[in-house]
Every structure is written in C-alpha cells, then in structure tokens.
C-alpha cells in the first residue's frame, strides 16, 4: 500500500483502474473508430466477473479473464454492427449500443436489475491494479509496434491509401476494436472488485463520456497519454475538494479550456526531444487529427491546408 490514507488509496485505485479501461479505449480507437460504449463493455465484463466470483466462487483471475472475454465478445458484436457505417455515425451508434446494454441490464433480474448487483468480494488491491495497468500499457505498447498496430495507424490516417496498400480495413478495425474491448473489460472487472457493487447505470453514456474525454485529452496518439490523462482527470476533482460545491463545475471549465487550447490533446505526438526535432525536419508536413496538414516546426517546405 503506497497510500496509507484509505481515501486517497481508493482515489488511486479508481485512477489506475480507469486508466486500464482508457488504455483499452485507446487500442479500440487506434484504427480510427470512435467508441462511446466502452463503459458498457467494461460494465458487461464487470457483471460477468462479479457473478462468477460471488455466485460461483471462481478464482479472481479466472473471473477477470472471463469477464474480459465477455467484453471482447460484446465488442466484436458492436464492431460488426458498425463496420459499414461512416465513422461519426458509427460512433453515435456505439452510444445507442451502450444505452441499450444499460436498459437490458436493468431488466435482467438475475443480476439485480435496478437494485444493483452487490455482495461482491473485495479482491482488487493497489498492487493488483498497478500491475494490471502495467500489463495494459505493455499490451498497448506492443500493439502499437505490431503489424496490426501499424496497419491501424495507416487506416486511421488515410483509409483509402491503406486499402490501396493492401491493408484489410475492416479486419484491422475489427481486430483492434476487439483487443481494446478485452483490455477495457479487464479494467471493468477490476473495478467491480473494489467498488463491490455494479449498477446498470455504470454502463451508460454518463460513464462512457468521461472515458472518451480522457482519451482525447490524453492526445489519442500516444499509448501512455490516455492512461496519464485518466489518472490526471480522476485526481483533478479530488484535488479540487477544497471547494466541494464547485469542484465539478471547475472540472468542466478546465476540460473546455484544455481541449480548446490544445485541440490535439495534451500529448499530441511522441515527444522525442532534440533527436526527434532533428529527424522531424525531414518530414515536412504531418497530419493533424482533423486531417488538415500542419507545417512541421523548422521544416523546409510546407503544404498549405
């Protein structure tokens, strides 16, 4: 236990577990899709894991993995549903998917419906959460460097060019989405084992929106940026506790200011320092997330947007 104070310990747990889920969101969205349903995927995993440990006495690790597999299945279904849609529309369809999952969870009596599912044993400790985050970041790192991850970046930056280069766009989107859903599912399963209760409302838009916010604020281009933003944005409202009433109002204003000042996120690129700047001068233009062409600092030529 690093944090002796139980209150800060629980905040830290929340931050770490959210960071795992947001890392999953990062992997899912790396091929250009936009998911507003990751709270639902994480929540499905949470329900499965909670039922397994509470009602069947499963070992914790098995339950987490089973929950994550459930989330991956749900993510696969979602990805297949949205595969032919325009990206923005697909993102909004994921919103509908998450809300539908919430309504379904409300109406399953076995998992308590609107009364929540409770009595879950406490399993997630600080060290387990930290270990899981390290594992999730490792997966994201290896994913970024893998063939699939490179293909995903190609698909995100220019689907037409990627397809012309022989990349199977739908396969890449599907595979990265499912992998991300699995990681997000690990986060969801961990979360229920320290919150000790899981509620259908946890699956809805109000819980997916913060995840998307963390992903975008983190920069959405760097695998650890999303996790860092998740930790920061979990701690900000707690650090603002000196004004109990206004802290979420301040949080909202901060969010708007951050995203307006740095539209590409806090960490828009992998910062490589002097070496990076040296090499970057040979790449005159780089793509911003909105597709406009930006002049690289110090670059010899520039393409006007």
Partner 1 sequence: MQLFIQQVVNGLISGSSYAVVALGYGLVFSVMRVMNMAHPDVAMLGAYSAYLVTSVLSVTILGLPTSLLVLVFLGLLLVGGITGAASGLILERLVIRPSLGKAVLVSFIATAGVGIALENGITAIFGSLPVQVPSILPTWAIVVAGIRFTPMELATLVISLAMMVGLRYYVHGTKWGLATRAIADRSDVAAACGVNTRTVSMLTMGISSAMAGVAGVTIALSQTQASPFMGLALGLKAFVCMLVGGNRHIEGILAIGLFLGVAEALISGYLSTDYRDAAAFSLMLVVLLVRPNGLFGSYPTPA
Nearer to partner 1, 249 or 303 (CB): 249
Compute the distance between CA of residue 141 and CA of residue 196 in angstroms, rounded to an integer.
31
Taking residues 232 to 251 in sequence order and writing x for each that binds partner 1 by CB under 8 A, - otherwise, the string is -------------xxxxxxx
Buried b (16+ CB within 10 A) or exposed e, 39-59: bbbbbbbbbbbbbbbbeeebe
Nearer to partner 1, 79 or 132 (CB): 79
Buried b (16+ CB within 10 A) or exposed e, 171-202: ebbbbbbbbbbbbbbbbbbbbbbbbbebbbbb
Residue 196 CB partners (closer than 8 Å, separation 6+): 118, 119, 120, 121, 122
Applying CB under 8 A, which part among 48-56, 106-114, 115-123, 222-230 lies near partner 1? 106-114
Nearer to partner 1, 182 or 215 (CB): 215
Q: Give me the sign of the Cα torsion angle 101, 203, 60, 68.
A: positive
Nearer to partner 1, 109 or 300 (CB): 109
Q: Does 122 bind partner 1 (CB under 8 A)?
A: no
Q: Does 93 bind partner 1 (CB under 8 A)?
A: yes
Classify burial at 106, counting beta carbons within 10 Å of its beta carbon; exposed 0-12, middle 13-18, buried 19 or more.
middle
| Residue among 213, 266, 285, 293 that touches partner 1 (CB under 8 A) | 213
Taking Cα atoms as reference points, which of 48, 63, 21, 73 lies closest to residue 178?
73
Name the token pair of 78.
């979602």
| Residue among 1, 62, 89, 272 that touches partner 1 (CB under 8 A) | 89
Compute the distance between CA of residue 48 and CA of residue 51 in angstroms, rounded to an integer.
5
Beta bridge partners, 287, equal 293
Nearer to partner 1, 31 or 212 (CB): 212
Helices and strands: H and E segment counts in the chain? 12, 4
Q: Does 88 bind partner 1 (CB under 8 A)?
A: yes
Nearer to partner 1, 127 or 243 (CB): 243
Q: Does 256 bind partner 1 (CB under 8 A)?
A: yes
Q: Give me the sign of the Cα torsion angle 152, 170, 227, 122.
A: negative
Q: Does 160 bind partner 1 (CB under 8 A)?
A: no
Q: Does 115 bind partner 1 (CB under 8 A)?
A: no
Compute the distance between CA of residue 90 and CA of residue 82 in angstroms, rounded to an integer.
5
Nearer to partner 1, 53 or 79 (CB): 79
Q: Does 34 bind partner 1 (CB under 8 A)?
A: yes
| Residue among 216, 222, 227, 267 that touches partner 1 (CB under 8 A) | 216
Q: Does 85 bind partner 1 (CB under 8 A)?
A: yes
| Residue among 7, 8, 77, 86 that touches partner 1 (CB under 8 A) | 86
Nearer to partner 1, 106 or 126 (CB): 106
Q: Does 22 bind partner 1 (CB under 8 A)?
A: no
Q: Does 196 bind partner 1 (CB under 8 A)?
A: no
- What are the residues binding partner 1 (CB under 8 A)? 34, 81, 84-89, 92-93, 95-97, 99-100, 102-104, 106-107, 113-114, 205-206, 209, 212-213, 216-217, 245-256, 259-260, 263, 289-291
């Amino acid at each position: 236990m690093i944090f002796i104070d139980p209150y800060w310990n629980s905040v830290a747990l929340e931050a770490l577990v959210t960071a795992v889920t947001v890392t999953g969101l990062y992997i899912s969205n790396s091929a250009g899709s936009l998911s507003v349903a990751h709270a639902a995927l994480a929540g499905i995993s949470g329900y499965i894991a909670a039922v397994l440990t509470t009602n069947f006495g499963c070992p914790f690790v098995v339950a987490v993995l089973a929950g994550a597999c459930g989330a991956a299945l749900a993510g696969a279904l979602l990805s297949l549903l949205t595969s032919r849609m325009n990206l923005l529309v697909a993102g909004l369809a994921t919103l509908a998917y998450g809300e539908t999952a919430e309504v379904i969870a409300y109406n399953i009596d076995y998992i308590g419906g609107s009364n929540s599912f409770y009595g879950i044993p406490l399993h997630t400790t600080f060290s387990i959460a930290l270990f899981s985050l390290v594992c999730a970041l490792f997966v994201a790192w290896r994913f970024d460097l893998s063939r699939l991850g490179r293909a995903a970046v190609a698909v995100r930056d220019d689907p037409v060019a990627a397809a012309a280069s022989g990349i199977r766009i739908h396969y890449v989107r599907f595979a990265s989405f499912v992998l991300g859903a699995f990681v997000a599912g690990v986060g969801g399963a961990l979360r229920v084992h320290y919150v000790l209760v899981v509620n259908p409302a946890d699956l809805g838009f109000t819980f997916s929106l913060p995840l998307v916010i963390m992903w975008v604020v983190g920069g959405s281009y760097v695998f650890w940026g999303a996790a860092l933003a998740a930790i920061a944005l979990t701690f900000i409202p707690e650090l603002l506790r000196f004004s109990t009433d206004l802290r979420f109002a301040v949080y909202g204003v901060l969010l708007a200011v951050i995203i307006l000042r740095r539209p590409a996120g806090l960490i828009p690129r992998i910062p490589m320092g002097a070496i990076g700047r040296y090499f970057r001068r040979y790449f005159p233009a780089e793509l911003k997330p909105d597709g406009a062409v930006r002049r690289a600092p110090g670059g010899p030529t520039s393409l006007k947007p």
